[in-house]
Amino acid sequence: CGAKPTTNWGQTPINVVLDTNILLDLALFADPRCSELWADLKQGRLRWLSTAEMREEFTRVLDYEHLARIRNRRGVTVTSLLDWFDHHAQICAVASRAPYVCKDPDDQKFIDLAVAHQATLYSKDKYVLALKNRLARLGIVVVSLN
């Protein structure tokens, strides 16, 4: 991953990885529990790392029927949400397998990227959260906004 410019007066932003549920909370639901995270991303204090595979998952999830109804009610399009993603995410190469394996293979990519870049991992997934103590041994902080 190449570094994006930072706007926080020369300080190096903290790398973060955001799972798909956190992205939905930020972009679609505007969950107030994400307000500080959103402010830090916008101000450049955090650098959101992602992969093409994570973007594809986000795209796929946005078409789930219940989320499509919410999008329609709010007047939000898939295109606008993907533009938001592309504007804020820094796309990285797929990371090597981390030493700890998640019970849900769909969530492994978030763990792998966080470990590869020593990034804070934001997740609401129970299987990711179950690895919180093990990932801490690798210096990875796992944050849940539940």
Give me the average pLDDT of each 10-residue run along the chain (146 residues): 45 94 94 94 96 97 96 96 96 95 95 97 96 96 88
Question: What is the pLDDT, as a whole number, of residue 9?
Answer: 53
32/133 Cα distance (integer angstroms): 27
Q: DSSP letters along 24-41, please?
A: HHHHTS--GGGHHHHHHH
Percentage of the chain modeled with pLDDT above 90: 90
* Residue that the structure tokens 């990885």 belong to: 17
Question: What is the pLDDT, as a whole number, of residue 145?
Answer: 80
Question: What is the pLDDT, as a whole number, of residue 14?
Answer: 95
Strand partners, 142: 121
